[in-house]
Amino acid sequence: MTDRYAVIGNPIGHSKSPLIHAAFALATGQDIEYTAIEGPLDGFKATVEAFIAAGGRGMNVTIPFKLQAFEIATDPMESARLAGAVNALKFEGGRIFAQNFDGLGLVNDIQRNLGVSLAGKRVLICGAGGATRGAILPIAAQKPALIAIANRSADKAHGLKRDFAAHATLQTGGYEELAGERFDVVLNATSTGLTQADLPLAASAFAPGALAYELVYGKGLTPFLKQAQAAGVQHIADGVGMLVEQAAEAFEWWRGVRPDTQPVIARFTVPLV
Ligand code: NDP
C-alpha cells in the first residue's frame, strides 16, 4: 500500500511541499502519496488524528500550526524542544515523533549550496520569531565567532538569549545597538520579505564579501536584498534552498533515503531581480 504523507497549514494553497516531495519520491523510487491539507484553525489536533487513523505516516507542519504540533508530540526531538515549534511529524506505533528541520535546512543551504562556511564567521540574524528560534542551534553547531540577534522589539531578542543560554552564546538587542558592527553573514528572518517593509539596518553591517540571505523565498529582490545590494553586497540569496533542504531532511527521516536537492532547488528558484 502506498504510504501517505501530507503538509498541514492554513492557508495551504501556496505550499510547494507536495511538488517538492513528489519530485523526491520520483527521483528516489519511493512509493508515497503526499497531499496538502488545509487544517481548520480550531481543529488541528482532530485533523492530524484523522490522518493517522487513515494510515498517515508523517506530516509537515506550517503556519499557523507549528506550536500546536509541538503540543501534540509524544516524542519531540531536541530540534523541536529547543525551538518550541515543529515542522515535521512522524507517526509510528501510536507515537508522534516531532522535529524542526527549518534551521538545519537553512544551514545546509548556506554551507553546501552557497559554499559559505559559518565556522569562525560573525553571523547576524534579523528577527526573533519562530524561524530564528529554529536556526540558533544549527548555526551554533557550526562554531561561528559570533551570533548576534537584532529585533524590532529588543526584549524578544533578549528572551532568546535567556532561553538558549545553556546551548549558545548570543548577542542580542535592537538594531540601533549594532552601530559600527560588521557581519560576514546577515540573515533576514523577519517577515519583511512578505510585507515589503525596510529594516533599520545600516549599510555598514555588511562586512566586505558578506552573504545576505533572505529567508522568504520566491519574492525576487526584497527590500532587505535591495538594501544589501545598495551596501555593495554581491552574494545574495533567498530561502528557496532552505525550503528544499528542510524538505530533504524530513524525506530522509521518513524514508531513510537522501534525495538530491539540486535539481529541485533549480526548479523552484525565482530570479532575484
Ligand atoms: P514570526 O512571525 O515568528 O516572526 C516575525 C519577525 O519579523 C519578528 O521578529 C518581528 O519582530 C519581525 N518583523 C515583522 N515586521 C517587521 C518590521 N516591519 N520591521 C522589523 N521587524 C519586523 O515569523 P517566522 O520567524 O516564522 O518567519 C520569518 C520569515 O521567515 C517569514 O517571512 C517566513 O516566510 C520565513 N521562513 C522561511 C522558511 C523557508 O523554508 N525558506 C521557513 C520558515 C520561515 P517583532 O518581534 O518586533 O514583531
Task: Judge contact between 79 and 59, C-beta under 8 A.
Answer: no
Q: Closest residue (by CA) to atom 40 of ligand 1?
A: 243
Confidence of residue 239 (pLDDT cuts 50, 70, 90): very high
Q: Is the CB of 102 under 6 A from ligand 1?
A: yes
Coil, strand or helix at 38: strand
Which pLDDT score is estimated for 1?
A: 82
What CA–CA distance (Å, rounded) separates 19 from 159? Answer: 37
Per the annotation, where are the binding residues?
Answer: 15-17, 62, 78, 87, 102, 127-131, 215, 217, 239, 246
Per the annotation, where are the binding residues for NADP(+)?
Answer: 78, 127-131, 215, 239
Task: Note the pLDDT tens digit of each residue in 22-70.
Answer: 999 999 999 999 999 999 999 999 999 999 999 999 999 999 999 999 9
Task: Note the pLDDT tens digit of each residue in 162-209.
Answer: 999 999 999 999 999 999 999 999 999 999 999 999 999 999 999 999
Locate the domains of the chain by residue range.
3-100+243-268, 103-238
Q: Do domains 3-100+243-268 and 103-238 have the same CATH topology?
A: yes
Q: Closest residue (by CA) to atom 4 of ligand 1?
A: 129
What CA–CA distance (Å, rounded) separates 247 from 268? Answer: 13
Which pLDDT score is estimated for 221?
A: 97
Q: Which atom belonging to ligand 1 lies closest to the Cα atom of 243?
A: 40
Which pLDDT score is estimated for 263?
A: 98
Which pLDDT score is estimated for 54?
A: 96
Percent pLDDT > 70 in the chain is 100
Q: Which atom belonging to ligand 1 lies closest to the Cα atom of 240?
A: 41
Can you tell me which residue has the cell 508523517?
A: 58
Class in CATH terms, 103-238 = alpha beta
Question: Is a pLDDT exceeding 90 seen at residue 227?
Answer: yes
Q: Let me know if 66 is a catalytic residue.
A: yes
What topology does CATH give the domain 3-100+243-268? Rossmann fold (3.40.50)
Confidence of residue 115 (pLDDT cuts 50, 70, 90): very high
| SS3 track for 68-118 | HHHHHCCEECHHHHHHCCCCEEEEECCEEEEECCHHHHHHHHHHHHCCCCC
Mean pLDDT score of the chain? 97
